[in-house]
Amino acid sequence: MSQFQFAQTLAVKVDVCTHAGMRDGVPALMRLFDDLGVRASFFVSLGPDHSGRAIRRIFRPGFLDKMRRTNAVGTYGWRTVLYGTVLPGPQIARSFPQTMRALVRDGHEVGMHGYDHVYWQDQLPKLSATAVRAELDRARDTFTEILGAPPTAFGAPGWQCTPTSFACEDDAGLAYHTDTRGVAPFLPEMDGRRFRTMDIPTTLPTLDEAYAREGTTPAELTAFYLRQLRPGLNVYTAHAEMEGIRQLPHLRDFLNAVKGHVTFLRLIDVAGRLATAPVARVVPGPIAGRAGTVAWQEAANG
Ligand SMILES: [Zn+2]
C-alpha cells in the first residue's frame, strides 16, 4: 500500500468522445469549472468522430435500453448519430485546437481518450499489438502537434482493455492511465501478465448509467451521487456530450453540493502523490445501465 492517504477527494474526469461534445460541451464545462474553482482532467478523443458506427452495438443486450433511457439522439443530435456512416466523421481535437489550448491555459489536465473512439471501444479484443500501437501513436502525435508537448495520460474509450493495450500503454511512457472501473489506484495484472503503469479507476457510476434508474432531476441525481461518495479518493467521469450540454444542471448541482466538503484534484495530481500502488487483476464484467462489458479492477464489482 502507498503511504499517502487521501482525505475525501474528488477527481472530475471529463471524457470528450464526440465533435459536438468538444464544440459545445467543453466550453460550457470550462465556464462551470471556472465558476466553482474546479480543475478537472479532460480526456479527448484525438481522431475522427465515428459515433454513427456505434449502431453496430444495436444487437448487444442493453444497448437499446441505454439509448432510450438517456435519449441518445436528443443528447448527441442526429448528425452525431450519422457520423462515420452516411456522413464523414469530423475531427474532434483538430477542429478545435484553440479549445485544447484553453483547457491547458485554465489549469486543466488534458489526456488522450484514444484516437478513433468507436474503433477502440468495439474492436480492441481483435486488434494486433501493431494496430493498438498505431492508434496510440496517432493519438499521441495529434496531441503533441496541437499542444506542443507529449501527453502523460490515457483513458481507454469505453473502459476497454486487453493485455495488449496495457503493454502498449506501458511502452508509451505515461505517468498513469485511467482505463478501468474500480475502487482505488492499482497496478494492473491481466491474463497472468503484470503491467507497470498505474491505473486510476473511475469509482462512481457514470450519469448515463444512473440516469432514469436513480432519478432524472438534478436533485434526485445529486442525492444518488452523494450516497455513492466514499472516504478517500472518488473519481467521477463526466461526458462532455451529457454533463456539458443537457445535463449541465445536474453537474452544477452535484459540484455545488460537495464543494467545501471534498478536495478537488486532477488525476495527474493523484498520480503524483502516489509512489506506488498495490497490484490488482483486471477482468471484464457487466455494469448496470451499460451494454457489453467494461474492465473492472477485480473484487471491485461485487
Ligand atoms: Zn468516451
Q: What is the model's pLDDT at position 273?
A: 95
Q: Which has the higher per-residue pLDDT, 88 or 175?
A: 175
> Cα(157) to centroid of ligand 1, in Å?
5
Asked which of 47-56, 60-69, 102-111, 223-232 is least confident by mean pLDDT, the reply is: 60-69
Tell how far CA 105 is from the center of its chain.
21
Sort 124 into a burial class: Cβ within 10 Å, 0-12 / 13-18 / 19+: buried
Q: Mark the residues whose beta carbon lies below 5 A from ion ligand 1.
A: 15, 17, 157
Q: What is the pLDDT of residues 280-297, one digit of tens each?
A: 999 999 999 888 999 999
| Whole-number pLDDT of residue 4 | 60
Share of the chain above pLDDT 90, in %: 81
CB 100 within 8 A of CB 111: no
Q: Over the stretch 247-263, which tens digit does the pLDDT of each residue have?
A: 999 999 999 999 999 99
Report pLDDT for 207.
Answer: 96
Q: Is it the case that residue 214 has pLDDT exceeding 80?
A: yes
Contact 202, 217 (CB under 8 A): no
Q: Could you tell me the distance, in angstroms and rounded to a whole number, from the CA of residue 133 to the centre of ligand 1?
A: 19
Q: Determine the Cα angle at 214 with ends 30 and 53, to 5°.
A: 65
106 CA to centre of ligand 1 in angstroms: 22
**Which contiguous run of DSSP H or E holds residue 287?**
strand 279-287
What share of the chain in percent tops pLDDT 70? Answer: 95
Q: What is the mean pLDDT of residues 85-99?
A: 91
The rounded Å distance from CA 205 to ligand 1 centre is: 14
Percent of residues in the chain assigned helix, strand, coil, to nearest 5: 45, 20, 35
Greater confidence (6 vs 220) lies with 220
Query: Residue 65 Cα, ligand 1 centroid: separation in angstroms?
Result: 18
**Sheet hosting strand 193-194, strand order edge to edge:** 193-194, 187-190, 279-287, 290-297
Which residue matches cell numbers 489550448? 101
Could you give the CA distance from residue 139 to residue 78 in angstroms, rounded to a whole number?
26
The per-residue pLDDT for 146 is 98
3-state secondary structure 119-178: HHHHHHHHCCHHHHHHHHHHHHHHHHHHHCCCCCEECCHHHCCCHHHHHHHHHCCCCEEC
| Ligand 1 center to 110 CA (angstroms) | 14
pLDDT of residue 5: 67
Distance 237 CA to ligand 1 centre (A): 10
Distance CA 146, CA 22 (A): 14
Ligand 1 centre to CA of 206 (Å) is 11
Report the separation in Å between the CA atom of 113 and the middle of ligand 1, taken as the mean of its atom positions: 7
- Give me the phi and psi of 209, to 5 degrees please: -80, -35
Q: Residue written as cell 467494461?
A: 294
Gap between the Cα atoms of 258 and 227, Å rounded = 11
pLDDT tier, 302 (very low <50, low <70, confident <90, very high otherwise): very low
**Gap from CA of 274 to ligand 1 centroid (Å):** 26
Dist. CA 120 → ligand 1 center (Å) = 10
Report pTM.
Answer: 0.92
Which of 31-35, 149-153, 162-166, 271-275 comes out lowest in average pLDDT?
271-275
- Please tell me the distance between residue 3's alpha carbon and the centre of ligand 1 in angstroms: 32
- 231 C-alpha vs ligand 1 centroid, how far in Å? 27
In the reported structure, the alpha carbon of residue 15 is separated from the centroid of ligand 1 by a whole-number distance in angstroms of 5
Predicted pLDDT at 2 = 42
In terms of C-beta density within 10 A (0-12 exposed, 13-18 middle, 19 or more buried), how is residue 82 classed?
middle
Q: Could you tell me whether strands 109-112 and 9-16 are parallel, antiparallel, or unpaired per DSSP bridges?
A: unpaired
Strands 176-177 and 153-154: parallel
Ligand 1 geometric centre to CA of 156 (Å): 8
From ligand 1's centre to the CA of 72, what distance in Å?
A: 14
Give 189 Cα–ligand 1 centroid separation in angstroms.
Answer: 23
